[in-house]
Structure 1
């Protein structure tokens, strides 16, 4: 099909007649099966005699063709055969010509397709591509330069081998640097594109630095200093003056790209910036100082009529930003990253406290965090927008305000007391300035107070901890909150004429409520409650009051009077039908927070009304996941209430309503309402007490088993199994005693579900939680499940033979591990006398070999604190049993990967992986068991205490160690490193990071596992004893296995385990 025929087809695809459009689309799809179509579309797209819209349509069609018919490389390839090499060569050259097209849209379209084609074709089929693109970049034609750079930008993102990467960077970057330094020839957009390509090269170098440290270090030393020097020169001028002189914001494009590139360099190769980082910090400060008046006039002032000049070009470049806000946010982000580095510590602090520079940065953070006029207008009338933009948990857009808050957070996390003192000074200066503006009649005077409170509120958690520590030590905190409350919060809490500041006062008070005197905190709480139904309160104030209530109830907890909780609930409930989207979720979150405190004291009528209104709210939009999550949280909070009134309402009102909705799944397997109702039901049972309320399971059992028996939805299956597992763990007798209308027991139906999910035809995702269910069934109903246990284990190991994923394998292996610990002889006898069908085309396999090979293959991927202990204890037991059971010694499993020239110190591309698949020589199971148990011993040591010699407040700097070899602490023969390892193995590690003080949000009550002996077992000590005993008794030829099969690293770990035992 020639170009003219294709043009007619493309025109017909946009015809007003739907039949004509459909026919044209079908003909175009049929034509795409011919390689000639690619050639026709390429010619059409680059034909300057054709109107631009049809050239764009041809480009779009060609891009679609490339993805579907060019090469099997693409996941969307339809085939059956790829485009012929002869046609490909012609299309590539036509597209290359299109990179110089005078129409920018066509250049960009061709560049996009060139980069797409390059993925499968370069370098083998298009070896000249790089040289061709560099030739364009060096061309005197501005069009050719831009087209070549757009293609280059995507080109450097293609996965490069180590042989290609460095020559590409060394050939390309000098040419690009020359363009960057020629503003009289090239426009800001083109020069910004140069910086984007440089940034991508830095990112690519960083990804391969571990594989090729010497080569990358040499390249970085050669390339980065020249570019960093150029960046410093580019940033030396005043950005506001440059904008004014140019009469356009387009000049911001280069600065934004440079700042963002500097941040990438800082995070990738920080040592290259170590000496000059203070200079760049000063440049950033000067930029913020110069841009603040422009930002205030354009974005903050309600009285200013100044507007930013538009970019001089009429065409958008999605990758190059000329936006003032983006430039400011990028500078602030860079300062936040730089502020964490030791290289600028002396700039930000003077040894005794904050420097003037740090105070100025905090002041600039407050200034730039002010509410913009656009925000003010949108938030005043749209509560959902106000919630989405201001709520930390719902923040959807990153902007100048959020960047400013993050800057202060970074200072506080890194500099501690100095940051607090700087923030105090900045707050006081802002307050004085606000009062001066107020006295002068400036209508925006309140914005300084609002942003100052927002900035301090952003570090509330850290500041509260700081104040509490100072109280314990009887010293004054670095930031004094009392003057803020007395001088600002108390003053503006009732200021109806400045609603945003009034609302901010409520939120601020709630953020620090746990530091307030109890009586004062209750007064603030009453004030927030009274606003909810006030006719005088505006939207921002009411929304802020709801946010404040959430914080008050979270922080005050038992200090809240039940009457306050009841009053707040009575005023929040009527808001549910009146709100939507983000605001509705905010109200629901406030109710959930309230229930944690006041739930046990609410009366029957209020509880019934709450359940009814919340379910009505949910029924209106069951497909909304955010809304469903919040409503589930409310029911979980109700379930956790120690109240007979609440329990009765849940059993007699909530569960029947939910079961009725779940029943819709019987006739409509895809019912969203049924799935959502099941989710809520699962949350209710997860927070019910142990044992469960009497007859609670019987209210949901029938419909639950119906859904599990018929659903194809994996999420519904998982949630249903969660409910059953929770019932087993909390009150298994309710499951065992329940009977269906046809007389089947709950246990029978559970086993039927398990059997269905273990069918080879079923997806592995559906059976991920079967093992968890069965393990708890064994733990809680061992006698009842005894007669069917052998058959169940046979089904598990049979399915394990064809399992392909670690998670599914863990689910199937876990019951064996637990039972091997409890009944080793019984389980091993079963496995030793059983064979199972192998994967398609393979002979039957011994069940014991299937279990042990899958266990060993995936052992290091197993997850779960209790699960991992079960696996380790059982593995140690199996090793010990191998001395008397030859079958265990005879099983061969995968050993360590065989290192070859093909897979050592090379990036494994897809082609290399196919040509050189990894090899794992087989070793006896007992040898593999030792390897895995040594790994478990290391992990147990790391999670049992703190590492010695590493201060808790250490700040990672990475300025001198980006080339350091990782894992050196395990190198055998290095005594210093082994001493450190010995310290870890003797106790210490990461346990302080593995626990949380806030367990009240956990969905599943883990107490039944906490009481299990394996949970309470000190695994580190257990494994030390195991290795000591195995060594002393030479159990299962321990010493020979260790000498033969352990590598040097493992031998070093073993030595220190034995020495510390």
Structure 2
């Protein structure tokens, strides 16, 4: 048993300068920590103030105590190692740690707060019921040390440990005490007061989380609590923030303001109505803060690298930590749209001018970006940029331009014009930082390029003057900065800005800009920032640019970018790949030659070999290879394939099973080559080279990506050059045999994720190799029918049903005869297919699959087979009180029905169900019109959802579930799978007659002919439908009765 003295000696030894002594003590300490009494000894040492225990050793004791808690306290902790202390010992440790919250030393208080927070997460409330009352008592004690320690516990506690029922009672006792601390600056330190606001913010978030469970109580609490705090915030923010930082050794006082603006943002998000009366005042205070703080921001962040004062707790409190919440809060208010009047006067232009000022590159930005290209690239990328004042400022400008577009753009013009004038004056005065405001102004306007251009177009279309003169900037301002190599960030910004507004450039001027960017890329003396900016500009110019203008530059820029692929990494490499991917698409690659293609492919393969696990890189490599392979220049496809295919096949063959991403990505790149090939022109021996590696990889594969990529690759090959697959054989097995073996494997597997694309493979196999498949077709269909009985996901079921729909459209009677003769689970194949089809028809995704299903249902109906007439399938939902708002079952996918809860359905003959499905397609699935029971017809102009949101109040009750059905049905996503089929069908299916026919006319003709001939006893079937359906059929068929 180790005594407290022995443990103290051991701790002291761990801090010894002699490494041997230190290592021995650390090993001994690990043994001590496993003993039951270790925790109590450590807690005693943590708060022991005597000459024998220096502060450094006390702090280390506190650190080891927290480690002890997480490893020995309770199985609650994931790192628990056993030997938990007794309940009595725990109580003693808790008491000692709680005592440490009032320790005169700040560091000890903080360490004890962290430890107590960990203990509370495990013990409260069952084993530590008096914790909350004790903490509230501590912060009510008046002792600044005690308040500081307790506040640190509360910060974490409110966030994670209170339940719905505990929050309201705790807040009633806690918040008044917090407010008294916040309002006593002469007693409590700024950081402690800031923590009261932070805890209050956690309380607001907690109230929002329980609003649903306790709406009235939360409403009353907000009405009581918020006005008092909001008034307090007004008082605190009304003082000049410059007072908090002028001639101060620390900027602790800023922490209160930081927390207030963060809290205002949270309140606006959670309870916006309560904040609305105060918004104008807070916006004015926010703007006053920006105006007051700009001088200090310029002093410490723009003009020099002078370090800003640190806080008293050695944690940085920087001006950006205040500027960002101000921007965020202001942006949130703008999006909320409740203070439009505030922005209608001088406030808007003043705010925009302030934002432009704070967007200037800081001294730290300049140093970092000049030496770290990846960081420089990332800060310009919407998806990877780190949060900063610049990013927050861009977001705020986006909010402004979204809500008050023309006024904001006009303010952009005023602001940038003032910047141009002042920058020129500063430059003439030899001020070294003259370029920063101009770079910031161009960056700001460039960040909103799309919205600015839309605004200009709209204003001109309306006969009003342009609110901003971008052409002036492009012709008179930007060209002058492109040669300023001593100011690389401004020079680079000029290139990027011009490319962001490339649509407004005359052809000749656009060519000059592109040529200038290429010259920078080629210049050995150009630095990192301007080269990267030039590459980004090239990407922007070539993306969607005019092919005839850009084609003369394509070969040159491709040669320049190629070497960068081998010397860049991470974000910079991604940028180079993105630029190259748009360059090689220009003019369909007619400008490529064998030498350039060889160098590019060699570099691309090296990039792939180093980054074959990164999906972002792979996407760009995929696009580049596809573009190279599809080049219309003579011999380029052959060159690309000759260099690429053997390497990829070798990678597949050599990849270990536990590195499946290599195989998956290699197969994906093979698909890129196939995509680029012309139909029937994969090239001699293409499949012969690929097949052994591909089929072996797929035979061994268990990884989803390998299987899906392999199926997609085979599907592409069948579409492009099926003859090669049919002609290939090895060891007595043909290519077709291998494909059928793969399909059988996927059908047998219970993992349906790998079978999401199997339907496409089967469809194209039947379309392209139907005669070759005929001998094994019965076995294939039998396997598909058997799998239908166990399949669960909608997308996999679609893969099984749609091939039958295709076959029925082409060989109806033969297929039906075959299905009638099949059996699985004591049911006929026809029975299984029809039940599966009817239950999933409305979840089919894709244009062609949905249409081929409709066509096949028509074929089934007109066949008048007795076996179909006798099949009973699931009909409409049976309306009960709890489901009375669900109008017609076929407007709701089966997945939504299961989501809503258990329901009962009627049972109806298949012919009736077929008519219901087809009638539904007439009403809501036709491309040109929707027909209602009342006979109304209206054009469907768009399915992007904007109109539905904009006119939500005008939606008819009968339309609500129809809209929902379409949202999650044929055109929407299946609820049961994260993998979604491609929205667009491939080119083959787009050209198929099923895709190009007038489906609406076909269905109307179908109904009219069935009515005229009384097909399948049509009139009797119609009588079994709902009253509304009967009315629609009468209108469609033009009859007063069903006949």
TM score, norm. by length of structure 2: 0.79
The whole-number CA distance in structure 2 between the counterparts of 1:801 and 1:113 is 56
The whole-number CA distance in structure 2 between the counterparts of 1:1021 and 1:486 is 55
Alignment coverage as a number of residue pairs: 976
1:528-549 deviations in whole A, cap 9, x for unaligned?
1122222443332222211111
Once the two structures are TM-superposed, the CA of residue 175 in structure 1 deviates from its matched residue by 3.2
The whole-number CA distance in structure 2 between the counterparts of 1:820 and 1:178 is 79
Does the C-alpha gap of structure 1 residues 150 and 860 become closer, same or farther in structure 2, counting only changes over 3 Å?
farther
Does the C-alpha gap of structure 1 residues 77 and 126 become closer, same or farther in structure 2, counting only changes over 3 Å?
same
The whole-number CA distance in structure 2 between the counterparts of 1:643 and 1:932 is 50
Contact kept, 8 Å, 1:898 with 1:920, in 2: the verdict is no
The whole-number CA distance in structure 2 between the counterparts of 1:476 and 1:618 is 51
| Pairing 1:770–2:753 present | no
| Pairing 1:310–2:293 present | no
Once the two structures are TM-superposed, the CA of residue 603 in structure 1 deviates from its matched residue by 1.6
The whole-number CA distance in structure 1 between the counterparts of 2:89 and 2:148 is 26
Partner of 2:888: none
Partner of 1:677: 666
2:654 to 661, 664, 680: 664
Q: How does 1:291-440 map to 2 (within 5 A)?
A: 291-302=293-304, 306-314=306-314, 316=315, 322-349=317-344, 355-389=345-379, 391-393=380-382, 395-440=384-429
Partner of 2:621: 631
Contact kept, 8 Å, 1:46 with 1:55, in 2: the verdict is no
| Pairing 1:283–2:285 present | yes
User: Larger deviation: 328-337 or 691-700?
Assistant: 691-700
Once the two structures are TM-superposed, the CA of residue 448 in structure 1 deviates from its matched residue by 1.4
Partner of 2:237: 235
User: Larger deviation: 413-422 or 688-697?
Assistant: 688-697
2:64 to 57, 70, 77: 57
The whole-number CA distance in structure 2 between the counterparts of 1:980 and 1:508 is 47
* Structure with bigger RCO (C-alpha 8 Å, 6+ apart): 1
Once the two structures are TM-superposed, the CA of residue 435 in structure 1 deviates from its matched residue by 1.2
Secondary structure in 1 matching 2:733: coil
Once the two structures are TM-superposed, the CA of residue 673 in structure 1 deviates from its matched residue by 4.7
1:261-307 deviations in whole A, cap 9, x for unaligned?
212222333222222212111111100001111111111114xx754
Once the two structures are TM-superposed, the CA of residue 988 in structure 1 deviates from its matched residue by 13
Does the C-alpha gap of structure 1 residues 20 and 425 become closer, same or farther in structure 2, counting only changes over 3 Å?
same
The whole-number CA distance in structure 2 between the counterparts of 1:789 and 1:541 is 62
Q: How does 1:84-123 map to 2 (within 5 A)?
A: none
Secondary structure in 2 matching 1:679: helix
Partner of 2:978: none
Once the two structures are TM-superposed, the CA of residue 312 in structure 1 deviates from its matched residue by 1.3
The whole-number CA distance in structure 1 between the counterparts of 2:654 and 2:67 is 44
Partner of 1:203: 205
The whole-number CA distance in structure 2 between the counterparts of 1:556 and 1:3 is 78
2:534 to 536, 545, 560: 545
| Pairing 1:889–2:872 present | yes
Q: How does 1:885-924 map to 2 (within 5 A)?
A: 889=872, 920-924=902-906
Partner of 1:727: 717
User: Larger deviation: 934-943 or 394-403?
Assistant: 934-943
User: Larger deviation: 168-177 or 360-369?
Assistant: 168-177
Partner of 1:841: none
2:75 to 70, 77, 83: 70
- Give the RMSD, CA atoms, in angstroms: 5.2
**Unpaired segments of 5 or more residues in structure 1?**
350-354, 837-843, 901-916, 957-966, 971-976, 995-1001, 1044-1050
The whole-number CA distance in structure 1 between the counterparts of 2:85 and 2:836 is 42
Once the two structures are TM-superposed, the CA of residue 1019 in structure 1 deviates from its matched residue by 9.1
Once the two structures are TM-superposed, the CA of residue 944 in structure 1 deviates from its matched residue by 4.4
Does the C-alpha gap of structure 1 residues 444 and 721 become closer, same or farther in structure 2, counting only changes over 3 Å?
same
User: Larger deviation: 193-202 or 141-150?
Assistant: 141-150
Partner of 1:556: 545
Does the C-alpha gap of structure 1 residues 556 and 189 become closer, same or farther in structure 2, counting only changes over 3 Å?
same
Partner of 2:692: 702
User: Larger deviation: 813-822 or 461-470?
Assistant: 813-822
1:527 to 505, 512, 516: 516
Once the two structures are TM-superposed, the CA of residue 523 in structure 1 deviates from its matched residue by 1.3
Contact kept, 8 Å, 1:328 with 1:400, in 2: the verdict is yes
TM score, norm. by length of structure 1: 0.78
User: Larger deviation: 685-694 or 636-645?
Assistant: 685-694
The whole-number CA distance in structure 1 between the counterparts of 2:70 and 2:668 is 42
Does the C-alpha gap of structure 1 residues 756 and 987 become closer, same or farther in structure 2, counting only changes over 3 Å?
closer
Secondary structure in 2 matching 1:479: coil
Secondary structure in 2 matching 1:566: helix
Once the two structures are TM-superposed, the CA of residue 947 in structure 1 deviates from its matched residue by 9.2
Does the C-alpha gap of structure 1 residues 872 and 98 become closer, same or farther in structure 2, counting only changes over 3 Å?
farther
Q: How does 1:90-239 map to 2 (within 5 A)?
A: 128-158=130-160, 162-209=164-211, 213-239=215-241
Once the two structures are TM-superposed, the CA of residue 486 in structure 1 deviates from its matched residue by 3.0
Does the C-alpha gap of structure 1 residues 22 and 249 become closer, same or farther in structure 2, counting only changes over 3 Å?
closer
The whole-number CA distance in structure 2 between the counterparts of 1:727 and 1:492 is 52
The whole-number CA distance in structure 2 between the counterparts of 1:160 and 1:869 is 54
Structure whose CA Rg is larger: 2
Partner of 1:253: 255
**Unpaired segments of 5 or more residues in structure 2?**
49-56, 884-898, 931-937, 974-981, 1012-1016, 1037-1043
Secondary structure in 2 matching 1:186: coil
Secondary structure in 1 matching 2:317: coil
Partner of 1:1006: 986
1:679-711 deviations in whole A, cap 9, x for unaligned?
322333344444553444443222111111113
Partner of 1:601: 591
Does the C-alpha gap of structure 1 residues 865 and 332 become closer, same or farther in structure 2, counting only changes over 3 Å?
farther
Partner of 2:431: 442
Does the C-alpha gap of structure 1 residues 1005 and 862 become closer, same or farther in structure 2, counting only changes over 3 Å?
closer
Partner of 2:1014: none
